[in-house]
Amino acid sequence: MRRMSDSPEDFLRLSDQAVDDIEKMMNSGVSVRPLYSRLYYAVFYSAKAALLSEGVEARTHRGTASQAYQVLFDQKELIEKEDAMVLQRLQERRDMADYELEVNFDRNEFKEDYEDSKDFVSKMKDIVESE
């Protein structure tokens, strides 16, 4: 197994792969639960890439969400507040999808989250490419 170099570009590749997985899964008719997991990781990996390009290395999932909010929104004003909240929102939904027995996700709500996530990933790519 080859280890990643932990470069922003490597994390963007993982993000793109997760987005590709989502599109294939949506076309196959899977339930929303696994879609939220892949959606979260698409956003998570892109946030890690943007943070690395800004010289910030978060070690945990919560740390990545926190640093994305603090660094990309609060300190550097590279994204809007609504964008900064996407990662945290998807982390909560992924946790619900993975661990809650009684949760029913609305497919239309997922589609909105998917569009927000694609926008978020695009903004993270812009941050990486501007460095």
Distance CA 11, CA 25 (A): 21
Ranges of each domain in the chain: 8-130
% residues pLDDT > 90 (the chain)? 87
What are the b/e assignments for 20-57, b being 16+ CB within 10 Å? ebbeebbeeeeebbebbbbbbbbbbbbbbbbbbbbebe
Q: Which two tokens stand for residue 131?
A: 């460095």
Q: What is the pLDDT of residues 87-124, one digit of tens each?
A: 999 999 999 999 999 888 888 999 999 999 999 999 99
Q: Which two tokens stand for residue 2?
A: 């080859």
pTM passes above 0.85:
yes
Distance CA 113, CA 111 (A): 5
Chain centroid to CA 113: how far?
Answer: 11
Whether residue 2 has pLDDT greater than 70: no
CATH node for 8-130: 1.20.120.330
Q: Which two tokens stand for residue 54?
A: 């800004």
In this prediction, residue 29 carries a pLDDT of 85
